[in-house]
Amino acid sequence: MPLNIDLQQILLHWMNLAILTGGLYLLLYKPVKDFMTKREEHYRQLDEQAAEKLAQAERVQAEYQARLDGADEEIHQARARAQQAIQQSTEDQLAKAREQARQIVAHAQTEAEHSRERVLRESQRELRKLAAQATKKLAFHVDPFDQFLDLAEEGEEYEE
Amino acid sequence: MKQHKKALVLWIGAVLLLLIGALLAGFHGRTESVQQAMRDAVLHDVNQISLLGLKAVNPGLISAFLVTGLILLAAALIRVLVIPRFQYIPGKFQLALEEAVGLFHGMAQNSSPHRYGFVGAYIFAAGAYIFFGTLFELLGLQGITIHGHPVTLPAPLSDVNAAIALGTLSYLVILSGGIAANGAKGVGKTLKEFSLPISMSFRLFGALLSGLLVTELVYYYVNLSFVLPVIVGVMFTLLHALIQTYVLTMLVSMYYGEVSEPSHKAKS
């Protein structure tokens, strides 16, 4: 044949190429490709795990944020309640103080009234006594001058 | 600094020793003219090698078997010694292996997204064969012809039979993709590209042969055998290895993707 083309040698080359293709596929191509696929799968799993952990962390963060927001509200409410209680207590104390003051004033007024009445009664009694004595003396004709002197003496004693 | 000087002296000593050895070995005359050497590089009809005493074959076939053997041996050693120790964070060698496999796998996946398992494995093997087969000629391994003369084993694909085998096998792989994906319609799609096996075969053959011829020419004359082979080696071997690997694998994956694309029925 032209160019020394030989069908038998071509077939031998085919056989050689078939052996090479099969051998290289089994010895090199497939094992390396399998390893690359395995590594890709490994890193894909790692990526998924990382994404899952990130999502979980975000969920926990959101949960704690919600709790934190709740705590703020709770603190706000507690503060409002405390202020209300203080206000109530102050008002109670004030009312009590006012009541006590009113009672003290009333008591003082009562005491003053009683004192005034007692003094008045004693003055009236003294006046009646004096009037009785004067009447008695007038009735028994006593010298008015002596009587006056006697009364004056008695008055000084009384003042002392 | 002392170590550098020592290494330089050793290197110069080795070069001189080799030069003296070459001169002492003497020149026994040419067994063939440059015309004959170039013709034989193309046709391989004179300097044939016996295949286990069964048949006289082109040196390219012996090279092909050797390349396959070496690649499979290296692959077996890597499979046994390296792959079981693979880490999730790869070292340099592991990274290089993964890059090589990933390159062909990605090429197959991008060019033929509907069906890429088999073509990925095929272009990986074909790529390795072309690349290491082309670099193989740099080793300068010798074979003995049936006439008893030593001959340097060439790159397998500089043999037209090897190039035709790879081109036609690639075409059959593309055809198999068409049949697997679209049945008879896939066969039709593949047969439309009837010139593909010839173009792929002779592109490979032409590219590799041009490198071989230049190398033959350079080595035929002693005067050209200094410094120039380094440039020729890089230009016609390393670059061919890379370019032809890329071209063939890319073509196979593209045509495979084209014929294995599921056909959509026109909506009435």
Alpha-carbon distance of B123 to B162, in angstroms, equals 16
Number of structural domains in chain A: 1
- Asked whether residue B94 carries a pLDDT value surpassing 50, the answer given is yes
Residue of B nearest to A30 (CA): B121
Residue B159 and residue B90 in contact, taking contact as beta carbons nearer than 8 Å: no
Q: What does the pLDDT read at residue A119?
A: 92
Among residues B117, B104, B126, B130, the alpha carbon closest in space to that of B211 is found at B130
- Full domain range(s) for residue B94: 29-259
Q: Is residue B7 part of a domain?
A: no
Q: What does the pLDDT read at residue B267?
A: 43
Task: Give the DSSP letter of residue B32.
Answer: S
- Asked whether residue A18 carries a pLDDT value surpassing 50, the answer given is yes
- Asked whether residue A15 carries a pLDDT value surpassing 70, the answer given is yes
Q: What does the pLDDT read at residue A93?
A: 94
Tokens of B26: 């003497």
Of A21-25, B61-65, B139-143, B236-240, the least confident: B236-240
Q: Is residue B9 part of a domain?
A: no
Write down the ipTM of this complex: 0.82
Q: What does the pLDDT read at residue B56?
A: 87
Q: What does the pLDDT read at residue B29?
A: 60
Give Cα separations from B184 to A82, B178, B193 (angstroms). Answer: 91, 8, 15
Alpha-carbon distance of B203 to B197, in angstroms, equals 10
Per-range mean pLDDT, top range of A53-67, B3-17, B149-163, B232-246: A53-67
Of B105, B120, B161, the CB nearest to A10: B161
Residue type, B25: A
- Asked whether residue B266 carries a pLDDT value surpassing 50, the answer given is no
Number of Cβ atoms within 10 Å of the Cβ of B203: 16
- Asked whether residue B192 carries a pLDDT value surpassing 60, the answer given is yes
Decide if A8 touches B, using CB distance below 8 A.
Answer: yes
Tokens of A139: 């009735």
Q: Is residue B16 part of a domain?
A: no
List CB contacts of B10: < 8 A, sequence separation 6 or more: none
List CB contacts of B218: < 8 A, sequence separation 6 or more: B224, B225, B228, B229, B232
Q: What does the pLDDT read at residue A17?
A: 94
Alpha-carbon distance of A87 to A94, in angstroms, equals 10
- Asked whether residue A135 carries a pLDDT value surpassing 50, the answer given is yes
B22-30 contacts, C-beta under 8 A, 24 or more apart: B27/B222
Average pLDDT score over residue span B5-13: 92
Alpha-carbon distance of B70 to B132, in angstroms, equals 9
Q: Is residue B14 part of a domain?
A: no
Q: What does the pLDDT read at residue B92?
A: 92
Q: Is residue B4 part of a domain?
A: no
Q: Is residue B201 part of a domain?
A: yes
Residues 108-127 of A with CB under 8 A from B: none
Decide if B131 touches A, using CB distance below 8 A.
Answer: no
Number of Cβ atoms within 10 Å of the Cβ of A98: 10
Backbone φ and ψ of B49, nearest 5°: -120, 145
Alpha-carbon distance of B240 to B163, in angstroms, equals 14
Number of structural domains in chain B: 1
Tokens of B67: 């390349």
Task: Give the DSSP letter of residue B83.
Answer: G
Higher pLDDT, B79 or B190: B79
Q: What does the pLDDT read at residue B77?
A: 96
Can you tell me which residue has the tokens 């496999």?
B101
- Asked whether residue A72 carries a pLDDT value surpassing 90, the answer given is no
Proportion of chain B above pLDDT 70, given as a percent: 94
Q: Calculate how close chain A gets to B99, using CA atoms only, in Å.
A: 10
Number of Cβ atoms within 10 Å of the Cβ of B245: 21
Q: Is residue B172 part of a domain?
A: yes
Contact A25 B160 (CB under 8 A): no
Residue ranges of alpha helices (H) inside chain B are 2-25, 34-43, 59-77, 92-111, 117-136, 160-182, 184-192, 196-220, 228-233, 239-259
Note the residue count of chain B: 268
Alpha-carbon distance of B181 to B119, in angstroms, equals 13
Q: What does the pLDDT read at residue A39?
A: 93
Which residues of chain A have a CB within 8 Å of the CB of B125?
17, 20-21, 24-25, 29
In the predicted model, what is the mean pLDDT of chain B?
84
Testing the interface with B: which of A4, A12, A13 to mutate, by most B Cβ within 10 A? A13
- Full domain range(s) for residue A87: 2-159
Q: Is residue B22 part of a domain?
A: no
Residue type, A123: S
- Asked whether residue B199 carries a pLDDT value surpassing 70, the answer given is yes
Average pLDDT score over residue span B103-131: 92
> Going by DSSP bridges, is the β-strand pair B49-51/B55-57 parallel, antiparallel, or unpaired?
antiparallel
Alpha-carbon distance of B40 to B45, in angstroms, equals 6
Residue ranges of alpha helices (H) inside chain A are 7-24, 30-139, 144-159
Contact A13 B61 (CB under 8 A): yes
- Read off the pLDDT of residues A83-113 as tens digits, 9 standing for 90 and up: 999 999 999 999 999 999 999 999 999 999 9
> Going by DSSP bridges, is the β-strand pair B142-144/B49-51 parallel, antiparallel, or unpaired?
unpaired
